[in-house]
Chains A and B, each alone.
Chain A
Amino acid sequence: MPGRLFLTKLARGLLTVWLIVTLTFVALNLSGDPIEALVGDQAPAEVIAHYREKFGLDRPLWQQYVSYVSGIAQGDFGLSLSDQRPAIELIAAALPRTLRLGLTAFVLGLLLGVGLGIVAALNRNRAIDRFVMSFAVLGFSLPNFFLGILLILLFSLHWRLLPSSGDQTIWHLILPAVTLGTHFAGTFARFTRSAMLEVLSKQYVVAARAKGVPRPRRVLWHALPNAAIPIITIIGLKLGDLVAGSIIVETVFAVPGVGRLLVNAVTSRDFALVQAILIMTSITMVLANLAVDAIYALIDPRMRAARSES
């Protein structure tokens, strides 16, 4: 792993997270009195004072900031205002469902998208290509809340094949995963197609053909790894969409994951929970982008060389 550049990226990532933590703190303090929002403005003064002390809001601002940041550094995001349980506990309980849905959708989208993209590239400008690309455009133009509702209408209400809400069995996973995955399949198909088209015209692929390498091996062994770089870049860029998409899809299909937790927290104006989810997401995003950078270096020897020089 090229050390220096990785450290720079890590430092930038930490800086980003710290800025988000700080901005959250500023926004929390700008937004008015959370205790009033919790107990209502008609509550007796001693009740307000009690909660103020309980949440540490009676101390000077800089002390609040220091304990806020150090708390977060130790994984303490405070108590959920409506639930009175640690915010992190609520997130931890919901996280497996979100991960299950997100990963399934992501893998589904990646396999389907890359597969379709390769097929389209190999059949450039034929009917198959146009069909695949129309699917791709449809995939990323259909808003996922609308696609979800269409799927529910068809598969749950009309044909009664699949359940429309909850997450008890593997059957419950299918519709939300397809909804979330279709968007990625569309995006990946588009980028895989153009990346493959570029690589397939390269001389080493032509040479492999001249040498008599069979087509499947030529495509999967010679071309695909070289088309992987732009595809991985898209993975990094699309992670945010995965997070945003799961908020919607979990709501549409009533999956009790982190996205639903966030929507409920926003509705009940439970700031502690909202900021905990916000900060956890930003940490995840920073780590994921670092991982994408690491993958670059792992799969591409050219980048390894270029980086160790810099």
Chain B
Amino acid sequence: MALTTLFRRKDDAPVRAEARYPTLVIIALALLGLILVIFLFADWLAPYDYRTQSLLKRLKPPSFLGGLPEHLLGTDELGRDVLSRLIYAIRFSVLVALGGTLIGAFIGTTLGFIAAHFRGLVEEAIMMLADVQASLPFMMIALALIALFGGGFFLFVAIMGFYGWEVFARLTRGVVIAANTQGYATAVTALGAPARHVYLRHVLPNILSVLIVQFTLNFPQVILLETSLSFLGLGIRPPLTSLGQMLGAGRAYLTSAWWIAVLPGMAIFLTTMSISIVGDWIRDRLDPTLQSR
């Protein structure tokens, strides 16, 4: 059920040009575009370095609330520019989530192909692991891994990469098994192509849209996971920053400087919401079976 469908007029109303690009989707796309620009050009956009401290200018409110004109969104407890920190926090959060989701998609898709190719015991083992992962909230698995292996940046990205692989594995296994029985795969195999060639050149392009849809579902989840763990102080840690890290650190200053915590919170909320709006919309367009809903 898409969010965008909530704002359509009536079920039976004729589809107009505007319904193909609902206002909400346009706003969400614009926000995502902005986030992409921030992600790519953070070092040009940020007026200051996100680590530069200035103890004389601590906890200043945003300019429009009577703060200093040179710090548009105020400063934090160490006098660091909140706008600059926000820009870099978006970059780090998106980087970690993108990396994590890609790794998860790669691991899961590969294991799905392996399960579908070999069947039998290999398939059983992979699917069993998928069941185990699905039986626990991933946050607990991530916390346990962090407790065991510590909290380096790359390790953290790797842990995020474990999120959702089981969904990709199940999905890929299912569609590959189905595709293997279809004419085109059998035909290519009969022509003497090696299995690798069949999978990469013929089956993968055919299941790509399913995988992309799953990607749009997983990405906001990984952002939430990263921000949650960083919020707890167990994900991205200082001197690096992320939206969750900023929010968690700003929590101590709610009474005197609410903007430190609320601004990154708004950024997380708007990002995940935009992705689900756009994701719902893409799903509606890619999957004809959902269109009646």
Mark A residues whose CB is within 8 Å of B.
12, 15-16, 19-20, 23-24, 27-28, 30-31, 125, 130, 133-134, 137, 141-143, 145-146, 149-150, 152-153, 157, 190, 194, 240-241, 243-244, 247-248, 251-252, 262-263, 265-267, 269-271, 274-275, 277-278, 281-282, 285-286, 289
**Can you list 6 residue pairs at the A/B interface with Cβ under 8 Å?**
A20-B132, A149-B254, A266-B234, A271-B147, A274-B144, A282-B135
Tell whether A150 pairs with B11 under 8 Å between CB atoms, given A274-B144, A282-B136.
Answer: no
> A143 to B265, Cβ gap below 8 A?
yes
B21 to chain A, nearest CB (A): 19
A93 to chain B, nearest CB (A): 20
Interface SS, A side: helix
Taking CB as reference atom, which chain A residue is nearest B233? A267
Is B247 interfacial (CB 8 A cutoff)?
yes
> 7 shortest A-B CB distances, which residue pairs?
A146-B265, A240-B137, A31-B148, A244-B139, A244-B137, A266-B147, A141-B273
Q: List B199-239 residues whose CB lies under 8 Å from chain A.
A: 224, 227-228, 231-234
> A286 to B135, Cβ gap below 8 A?
yes
B130 to chain A, nearest CB (A): 11
Tell whether A153 pairs with B147 under 8 Å between CB atoms, given A23-B132, A146-B269, A263-B234.
Answer: no
Extra 13 A-B pairs, beta carbons < 8 Å, given A248-B232, A274-B144: A16-B131, A19-B132, A137-B3, A137-B6, A141-B276, A145-B231, A152-B254, A153-B254, A194-B293, A244-B139, A244-B140, A247-B140, A248-B228
Chain B residues, Cβ within 8 Å of A134: 6
Q: List B230-260 residues whose CB lies under 8 Å from chain A.
A: 231-234, 244, 247-248, 251, 254-255, 258
> B143 to A274, Cβ gap below 8 A?
yes
Is B268 interfacial (CB 8 A cutoff)?
yes
Is B7 interfacial (CB 8 A cutoff)?
yes
Task: Tell me how many residues of B have a C-beta within 8 Å of chain A.
Answer: 49
Chain A residues, Cβ within 8 Å of B261: 149
Determine which of A28, A243, A270 lies in contact with B137 in the assembled complex, contact meaning CB atoms within 8 Å: A243
Taking CB as reference atom, which chain B residue is nearest A144? B228
Chain A residues, Cβ within 8 Å of B233: 267
Interface SS, B side: helix
Chain A residues, Cβ within 8 Å of B129: 19
> B137 to A145, Cβ gap below 8 A?
no
A272 to chain B, nearest CB (A): 10
Tell whether A271 pairs with B148 under 8 Å between CB atoms, given A149-B261, A282-B135.
Answer: yes
Tell whether A285 pairs with B135 under 8 Å between CB atoms, given A248-B228, A248-B231.
Answer: yes
Give the complex CA separation of A285 and B141 in angstroms. 14
> A263 to B132, Cβ gap below 8 A?
no
Give the complex CA separation of A190 and B247 in angstroms. 29
Give the complex CA separation of A115 and B261 in angstroms. 33
Chain B residues, Cβ within 8 Å of A130: 6-7
Give the complex CA separation of A157 and B258 in angstroms. 10
> B148 to A28, Cβ gap below 8 A?
yes
Give the complex CA separation of A96 and B157 in angstroms. 34
Chain B residues, Cβ within 8 Å of A266: 143-144, 146-147, 234
Chain A residues, Cβ within 8 Å of B64: none
Taking CB as reference atom, which chain B residue is nearest A190? B1
B51 to chain A, nearest CB (A): 23
Give the complex CA separation of A278 and B293 in angstroms. 39
Tell whether A27 pairs with B144 under 8 Å between CB atoms, given A143-B269, A194-B1, A266-B234.
Answer: yes
Give the complex CA separation of A281 and B150 in angstroms. 22
> A281 to B148, Cβ gap below 8 A?
no
Determine which of A12, A141, A152, A251 lies in contact with B269 in the assembled complex, contact meaning CB atoms within 8 Å: A141
Give the complex CA separation of A137 and B144 in angstroms. 31
Give the complex CA separation of A263 and B230 in angstroms. 12
Is B10 interfacial (CB 8 A cutoff)?
yes
